[in-house]
């Protein structure tokens, strides 16, 4: 029901695109929640549901902003024509209501009066067309108000749902932390290794390259091979692709991708993985490194905080951390969505995938939007 209502309201707002994607994500998340039988399955389903709500908020925000821009455009045009239209419509009204004899009483005589009346009468069709056009614009303004109210209601529901989902996720993670993790001996080794490398590595690239596959095959997360998920994984954060793999930069070609997202967005694990590193690392902010398969490492940097610890086994869809603060209050979100200046703030998540220590294009695995938002 929640999905159907959201899809209906979004279709009223804009039609297809991000709106349909968000509704489809919500539908899949609801199905996953209904099918979840274990705490791990429920945690993954809750993460997918939270990411779906973030996608819904992004679509709602875009619709609110485009509606506000259209309203400003209409109102600016109406303001420019208001005085002229009032004067001309008043003249037209006088023509329609004045007796014929009075209309012919022109200071320059009957012929001049008739000629003036004919000239004004000739304007009537054009004025009627203009009136119809203005009526349509006023009707559009009214429709925009209705759609804005629908979107505002959807935004409040999505924000409340996101808060509930994140609270339940935090409760499950805190309650079950350590369940299904690697052995104590392996965890101790990984922690010592990670701390030593963090002290000695001079860059994120050096840190990632120095982390060989350290999880024994028998302790690797039990799931389908990460290699089989090519092109099927959703982005780890709801945002827009800013720079793609190989984009030129001061330090050479980019070895990963950069994704711009709202500051309140969370970063989600794309696959069941072992956490190989989690914590602050110099100017890169908080860094999280995942090992979904032996010889494969997924690196995330730019987080403000991490929810996971080195040695954890995370489920697909589990939140790894956040780019910034918590979701905004509903009124703050609505005000920001209808103003031209970004007031909620945006952050950039850097992600790279390494196979055998070498960087590879994340787009091989992730369904990244390479057109909208790509600024290469």
DSSP string, 203-224: SHHHHHHT----S-GGGS-SSS
Tally of CB atoms within 10 A around 110:
10
Q: Which of 310, 316, 296, 305 is nearest to 360 (CA)?
A: 296
pLDDT of residue 1: 41
Alpha carbon distances (Å) from 269 to 29, 237, 247, 300, 322: 15, 9, 24, 10, 12
What are the structural domains of the chain? 1-176 (no CATH), 182-376 (2.70.70.10)
Q: How far apart are CA 270 and CA 292, in angstroms?
A: 9
Q: How far apart are CA 278 and CA 303, in angstroms?
A: 10
Segments in the chain below pLDDT 70:
1-17, 80-85, 87-89, 91-124, 126, 176-182, 212-224, 341-343, 369-376
Please calculate the CA angle 365-367-370 and round it to the nearest 5 degrees.
115
pLDDT of residue 11: 45
Q: Which of 136, 131, 151, 368 is nearest to 245 (CA)?
A: 368
pLDDT of residue 372: 42
The verdict on pTM exceeding 0.85 is: no
pLDDT of residue 16: 47
pLDDT of residue 15: 47
Q: What tokens were used for 243? A: 């720079």
pLDDT of residue 97: 59
For the chain, give the longest Cα–Cα distance: 111
């Amino acid at each position: 029901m929640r999905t159907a209502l959201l899809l209906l309201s979004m279709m009223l707002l804009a039609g297809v695109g991000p709106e349909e994607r968000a509704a489809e994500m919500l539908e899949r998340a609801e199905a996953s929640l209904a099918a979840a039988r274990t705490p791990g399955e429920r945690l993954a389903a809750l993460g997918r549901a939270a990411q779906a709500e973030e996608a819904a908020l992004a679509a709602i925000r875009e619709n609110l902003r485009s509606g506000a821009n259209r309203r400003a455009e209409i109102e600016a045009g109406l303001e420019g024509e208001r005085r002229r239209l009032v004067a001309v419509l008043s003249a037209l009204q006088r023509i329609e209501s004045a007796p014929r004899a009075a209309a012919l009483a022109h200071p320059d005589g009957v012929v001049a009066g008739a000629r003036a009346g004919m000239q004004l009468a000739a304007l009537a069709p054009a004025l009627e067309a203009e009136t119809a056009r203005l009526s349509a614009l006023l009707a559009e303004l009214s429709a925009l108000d209705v759609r804005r109210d629908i979107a505002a209601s959807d935004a409040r529901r999505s924000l409340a749902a996101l808060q509930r989902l994140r609270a339940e996720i935090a409760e499950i993670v805190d309650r079950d932390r350590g369940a299904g993790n690697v052995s104590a001996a392996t965890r101790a080794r990984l922690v010592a290794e990670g701390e030593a490398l963090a002290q000695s590595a001079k860059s994120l690239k050096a840190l990632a390259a120095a982390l060989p596959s350290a999880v024994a095959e028998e302790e690797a997360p039990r799931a389908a091979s990460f290699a089989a998920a090519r092109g099927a994984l959703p982005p780890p954060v709801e945002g827009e692709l800013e720079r793609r793999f190989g984009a030129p930069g001061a330090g050479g070609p980019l070895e990963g991708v950069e994704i711009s997202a709202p500051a309140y967005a969370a970063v989600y694990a794309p696959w069941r993985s072992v956490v190989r590193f989690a914590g602050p690392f110099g100017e890169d902010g908080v860094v999280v490194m995942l090992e979904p398969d032996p010889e494969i490492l997924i690196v995330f940097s730019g987080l403000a905080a991490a929810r996971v610890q080195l040695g954890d086994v995370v489920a697909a869809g589990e939140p790894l951390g956040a780019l910034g603060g918590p979701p905004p209050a509903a009124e703050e979100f609505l005000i920001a969505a209808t103003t031209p200046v970004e007031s909620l703030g945006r952050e950039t998540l850097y992600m790279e995938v390494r196979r055998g220590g070498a960087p590879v294009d994340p787009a091989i695995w992730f369904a990244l939007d390479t057109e909208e938002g790509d600024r290469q």
